[in-house]
Amino acid sequence: MNTHQLKTNLSAQSLALAIGLLLLGVKLLAWWLTNSNAILTDALESIINVAAAGMGLYSLWLSSQPRDRNHPYGHGKVEFLSAGVEGALILLAGVAILFKAGYNLLYPQPISSLDIGLIITAAAGLVNYLLGWYLQQRGKSSHSMVLTASGAHLKSDAYSSAGLVIGLGLVWATGSPVIDSVLALVFGGIIIYTGFRLVRESVAGIMDEADYQLIRDMVDTLEQERRDSWIDVHNFRVIKYGPTLHIDCHITLPWYFSVEQAHEEVKAFERVMQDFSSTPVELFVHVDPCEPPANCQLCAVKNCPERKAPQEERISWTLDNIMKDEKHEI
């Protein structure tokens, strides 16, 4: 990641932290004025927003640090850990909300000043949605899981706020505090689901689970830019370390290529992958020599001096066949 991207990401996460602190104070004020359980759930989630934004800011800084002796692949994995902790905190907040809402469903409490609470909740929800949209767009463009997770969390918070506005309007119209507790139970469940999803994505990243959509897009790019000398590509794997993509694969080249020629082909392959990605790409390529006459049937090299059989077919590279640890055959 270049210096400009890093500064932009850090600024975006710093903005999320500052606005999170501001909205937390506003929502706590709304709860103090109204005594609404539903608004309390919104305020509790804002506490998680602040904690997550602070942790995200630290992890963004740490993941940008250069690799060292103890971390030869860099520090990018900390982004997955940060997202996992954020998800765990969200889960705990959701469970606490369910207990509080359940208690007040059995023992209703009076609610007041809902008009002010509605205005504050609606304004906070709008701010969260706009900030969440910005963080998600920034995270997708820079392949930052921290920013993407923060954006998704804030947008989820905004949707909850929208539902709260509708529900609190019903409480205001009917005067029934039971609706408030029911709303808190519903949004507590939504918060728990959001936390579980973040933990699931974090574990997938730590376990190097394959991102099939990313690999499919890469393979489509390779298929469009492939050279005739790239007879075969297989055992294609992609691992994410923060914003950096590490690619392992095998490429089959004509057996008579010199080391210098093979090196140039690998560099051309690397340029295609680097042009595809807006973030750094590190490539580990194992070069295989072609094996006439079997590979000749798939080879598109023109005027090959060692051809033993004519080309019979051009196999298109796809997600299914390029990830297999075996050469393509007719």
Residue type, 193: Y
Report whether 80 contacts 143 (CB < 8 A): no
Tens digits of residue pLDDT in 63-98: 777 777 777 777 777 777 777 887 887 787 778 778
Q: Residue range 142-171: average pLDDT? A: 74
> Do 247 and 161 belong to one domain?
no
- Is 263 inside any structural domain? yes
Tens digits of residue pLDDT in 180-223: 778 778 877 877 887 888 788 788 777 767 788 889 999 999 99
> Do 77 and 216 belong to one domain?
no
Alpha-carbon gap, residue 21 to 23, rounded angstroms: 6
> Do 187 and 220 belong to one domain?
no
Query: Which of 206, 236, 268 marks a domain boundary?
Result: 206
The proportion of the chain whose per-residue pLDDT surpasses 90, expressed as a percent, equals 22
> Do 163 and 284 belong to one domain?
no
- Is 328 inside any structural domain? no
Encode 300-325 in three state secondary structure. Answer: CCCCCCCCCCCCCCCCCCCHHHHCCC
> Do 22 and 126 belong to one domain?
yes
- Is 164 inside any structural domain? yes
Alpha-carbon gap, residue 224 to 176, rounded angstroms: 63
Q: Residue range 111-115: average pLDDT? A: 66
- Is 17 inside any structural domain? yes
Of residues 137 and 242, more confidently modeled: 137
- Is 234 inside any structural domain? yes
Q: How many domains does the chain contain in total?
A: 2
**Confidence (pLDDT) at 143:** 67
- Is 330 inside any structural domain? no
Confidence check: pLDDT of 227 > 80: yes
> Do 172 and 287 belong to one domain?
no
Of residues 160 and 129, more confidently modeled: 129
Query: Which of 150, 180, 206 marks a domain boundary?
Result: 206
> Do 153 and 216 belong to one domain?
no
Dig out the tokens for 230 from the structure: 């790239």
Q: What are phi and psi of 302, to 5 degrees?
A: -85, 145
Q: Of 150, 178, 120, 138, nearest to 50 (Cα)? A: 150
Q: Which residues contact 307 (CB under 8 A, 6 or more apart)?
A: 292, 296, 299, 301
| Region of residue 20 (phi > 0: left; psi between -120 and 50: alpha; otherwise: beta) | alpha
> Do 17 and 49 belong to one domain?
yes
> Do 145 and 271 belong to one domain?
no
> Do 217 and 137 belong to one domain?
no
CATH code where residue 282 lies: 3.30.70.1350
The whole model's pTM is what? 0.62
> Do 85 and 226 belong to one domain?
no
- Is 329 inside any structural domain? no
Of residues 15 and 76, more confidently modeled: 15
Query: Which of 170, 190, 206 marks a domain boundary?
Result: 206
| Burial environment of residue 36 by CB neighbours within 10 A (0 to 12, 13 to 18, 19 or more) | buried
> Do 102 and 239 belong to one domain?
no
- Is 90 inside any structural domain? yes
Residue 129 belongs to what domain range?
3-206
Out of 65-79, 249-263, 296-310, pick the least confident: 65-79
CA 11 to the chain's CA centroid = 18
Confidence check: pLDDT of 251 > 90: yes
